[in-house]
Structure 1
Amino acid sequence: MALQIALDFLKQQKQHLRKILILSDIPGVQVKDEKTFGKLKRLISESGLTELIFIGPVLGQLVSQFTLPITNYADTKSFLEDLKHINYSDATILIKGARDYHFEQISKRLVAKSHDTTLEINLNALEHNLNVYRGLLPPGVKLMAMVKAFSYGSGSFEIANLLQFNHVDYLTVAFTDEGVDLRNGGITLPIVVMSPDENAFDAIVQHRLEPEIYSFRILNSFIRYLKQHDLKGFPVHIKVDTGMHRLGFMPEEIEALLAILKNQEVIRVQSVFSHLASAGNVVDDKFTENQIQLLDEFTAQLKQELGYSFIRHIAATSGIALWPSAYFDMVRLGIGLYGIDLEREDLPVKEVSVLKTNVTQIKQLSATETIGYNRAGVIHRPSRIATIKIGYADGYDRRFGNGVGKMSINGQIVATVGNICMDMCMLDVTDIEVNEEDEVIVYPDIKEAALAIGTIPYELLVNISQRVKRVYFYE
């Protein structure tokens, strides 16, 4: 039953205490169908819902059989007419309706009640992308999902909840506080902390986080901490530097590393891993092959000396797409999960997030006028200029000013004019039909946008300010 799947997913959402189900009548099912409604009552009673909204005459006859607060509407139109009087702040809302009830109208109206500038995140697309990459993996290869940096700008609990619901094997964050937030949000999956700080060991242990160990300093400090607290067998992940030269033990340090690992009982190696420096660059294929071989040799010696097995991994998104020989026991899925694969155009990944805003005001200006700070926006003809509600405080880079940035309004591409302001920017809309309050797509093509200012899509995504409202869809 699709409703059961949806309610199971909703149950994992811990970020809001209020959980609301908006449900329509079920086509062809009448009040006398005790089996169907008995199951419905059981699902709702086990769901953790706090409020119900029923739409349709059949469900309306069953209101008295539920103990939760219920509001009933005869049809979708009646609900929409009353929507402006309903407070949905700090709530997670599940919308489940038959096609005849046109619940897409409800979705659009609920989004319209949110902040003018929004990042719309399609959780179905994210789930699809996860399965695309899973489909490349042989049976038995585990999958670690990267949710660092606010899940590449897409959110924290919401993304982690979906990944947990889809049974990934590990989550990875950059810093301890990110992992603590996920634990407080109800995430129970193993979580690796890539940059553990010695001052955060208490939080790591308390919240069952698993630290990356990349240096003798961190290794010895963590061992001392665990001994002081009389702990044994705590899982850690050993980072090996096979050529990235960022963090990790050098291969030639393995004897010194083994001397420490074999002389203690407080930690247990859960995984040993490295990072491919140039997996997507064909001119570096020999270098990549050497990195894979170095990890293989390092882990073989470590396993022999320690006397037990552990997970090995080196492939991130590019490695998953291009290097099956790098799969080992687990892979780490990052930017590809969010719909951006810079290596393989043939992979059918879907765009997960869309940054949207709207037109605040339109002005008709003569050819002699200038626009914005320092009068940087120069026009050479009578022009219509639209001001929109996004600026560099929202994460829209100042380098997009003066025609570099391109946006989409009603399917038409328009360019910025003048410098980007803190909370707003201006677009030249002279050649298109546009009205105030029309929707604006900020990045019609995020790869092209990144290229225009000499960066990568990762940076554009993670720089979207947290003041921009995230709106999630899961259908």
Structure 2
Amino acid sequence: MPEAKETVLEINLGNLAHNYRFLRSKTDKEAKFLSVVKAHAYGSDSVEIAKKLEELGTDYFAVAYVEEGIRLRENGISKPILVLHPQPSHFEEIIEHCLEPNLYSQKTLESFVSLAERLNQKNYPVHIKLNTGLNRLGFDQSEIPRVFETIKNTNSIKIASVFSHLAASEDWQEREFTLSQIDLFRKMTWQLIENLDYEPLLHICNTSGVINYPKAAFSMVRTGIGLYGYSNDKTIDPHLKPVGKLKTIISQIRKLDPGASVGYNRAFKTEKESKIATLPIGHADGINRIYGKQKAGVFVNGKYAPIVGNVCMDIIMIDVTGIDCEEGDEVIIFGGPQHPVDFARAGGTISYELITGIQRRVTRKIIPE
């Protein structure tokens, strides 16, 4: 009997727990653990994921935007939440919901201090982002003296952490650059905090940093993609378990003669008698056109079936010729027999883009630990 009745993304909390414990085992026991749950927890369900991680003992959370942090607070998440890319227009909401902003420029720093003073805040926790070579957000080394002066002249804020982001921690060919980032981070943090009367948390390691540069754990590590089952390292991937499994069903099966075309623009034509199945999922759900024209495929009753023709908005077609299947049978797009990394690679992209792109109209089903 088919298990799936619709397109569904199964979210396995047991796999999440496994990944969390594995990554914890790779870090210094004294280091705190920050779990990144931005982008709906990498395309899954941020609330359910955060609740489980809080249960497992994570010390901190991070989200990209303020609204993501508010959603966690409104659903009972109590651990500290770092907002990685806040905008000054949302600073009042940050304070209202006890979120902690990343202050990455002199403008954001001065704007937040001004608001905190106006609202009579004292020692409000903030995070200072340093640019060590990724060149996205963060203060450059030359800006550190001004940052220190701003912080020294107010008691409205207190630095909860100082952090930076490694650019290529998964790439051993860039090892020299990564080590230079770690060294620069060490110098910049000392320059910033040497005259403080307290010690902020320090963190630069992402998932690949945890695996490849454990001595750079400092006082906290920050993991995102690893929690969801991906490491960017073929030797580590077998130790992790993908949290998400995307499943759907066969809506219809059609038998076609040789020379028949399938889908828009007649992008696929049969060369022999063929059996084509349609599935209720398309690029509006996150399975983009890059996966069509036999570049990627799915699994039907344990057998590989290529995606044929162009991916449609709500439908994809697969070639099930020679596969014993019928309408209503379950189809596994990724997870199970096909690792999401392999599916993404077949389309010429990466796992991050695939899993975060699964749209919200796809039903989420939570599988408890």
Instruction: Calculate the TM-score normalised by the size of structure 1.
Output: 0.75
Q: Give me the CA root mean square deviation.
A: 1.3
Amino acid at match of 1:360: S
Supply the AA of the counterpart residue of 2:333: V
Structure 2 match to 1:468: 362
What displacement does 1:437 show? 0.7
Tell me what 2:108 maps to.
218
Deviations 1:97-136 (A, max 9, x none): xxxxxxxxxxx99x75xx6000011100100100000011
The 3-state SS of whatever aligns with 1:393 is coil
1:409 and 2:303 correspond? no
User: Could you report, residue by residue, the CA deviation over 1:134-173 in whole angstroms, capped at 9, with x for unpaired residues?
Assistant: 0111221100000000000111210010011111000000
The residue aligned with 2:172 is: 282
Separation (CA, whole Å) in 1 of partners of 2:330 and 2:142: 57
CA contact (8 A) 1:129 1:339 kept: yes
CA deviations on 1:272-298 (whole Å, 9 max, x unpaired) are 000000111112111111111111111
Q: Percent identity?
A: 42
Residues 223, 266 of structure 1: 8 Å contact kept: yes
| More contact order relative to length (CA 8 Å, sep ≥ 6) | 2
Counterpart code for 2:320: V
1:382 to 254, 273, 276: 273
1:460 match: secondary structure:
helix
Structure 1 range deviating more: 166-175 or 195-204: 195-204
Matched, 1:366 2:240: no
1:327 Cα deviation (Å)?
A: 0.5
Structure 2: gaps spanning 5 or more residues: none
Retained in 1: the 8 A contact 2:290–2:348? no
Residue by residue over 1:399-426, the C-alpha shift from the partner in whole angstroms, topping out at 9 and shown as x without a partner, is 1111112100011001011111111110
Of residues 34, 42, 57, the one that matches 1:144 is 34
SS of residue paired to 2:250: strand
Work out which of the residue numbers 375, 391, 399 in structure 1 matches 2:282: 391
Whole-angstrom distance in 2 between the partners of 1:342 and 1:165: 27
Other-structure match for 1:424: 315
Following TM superposition, by how much is the alpha carbon of 1:344 offset from its aligned partner in structure 2, in angstroms? 4.9
Q: Structure 1: how far apart are the matches of 2:163 and 2:144? A: 13
Question: Residues 10 and 366 of structure 2 are in contact (CA less than 8 Å); yes or no, is this contact kept in structure 1?
Answer: yes
Q: Match for 2:322: what amino acid? A: D
Task: Give yes or no for the alignment of 1:129 onto 2:23.
Answer: no
Q: Is the 8 A contact 2:145 2:192 kept in 1?
A: no
**For residues 352 and 446 of structure 1, what CA distance do their matches in structure 2 show?**
10
* 8 Å CA contact retained: 1:321, 1:343: no
In the alignment, is the contact (CA less than 8 A) between 1:119 and 1:356 conserved in 2?
yes
For 2:7, the equivalent position in structure 1 comes to 117
Supply the AA of the counterpart residue of 2:108: I
Look up the equivalent residue of 1:404 and give its one-letter code: K
* Superposition deviation, residue 229 in structure 1: 1.1
Q: 1:457 — aligned with what?
A: 351
Offset of 1:253 from its aligned partner?
1.3
1:442 maps to which of 333, 344, 361:
333
Question: Which of 188, 194, 203 pairs up with 1:304?
Answer: 194
Total equivalences in the alignment: 365
Q: Whole-Å Cα distance in 2 between the matches of residues 419 and 139 of structure 1?
A: 50
AA aligned to 2:23 is Y
Q: Cα distance, 1:453 vs. partner? A: 2.2
Distance 1:116 1:155 in 2: 18
**Helix, strand or coil at the partner of 2:304:** strand
**Paired residue secondary structure (2:142):** helix
Counterpart amino acid of residue 80 in structure 2: P
Confirm or deny: 8 A CA contact 1:321 1:344 kept in the other structure.
no
Seen in structure 2, the aligned counterparts of structure 1 residues 332 and 461 have a Cα distance that, compared at 3 Å, is: same
Q: Distance in 2 between matches of 1:145 and 1:352?
A: 15
Show the counterpart of 2:54.
Answer: 164
Larger Rg: 1
Partner secondary structure for residue 305 of structure 1: coil
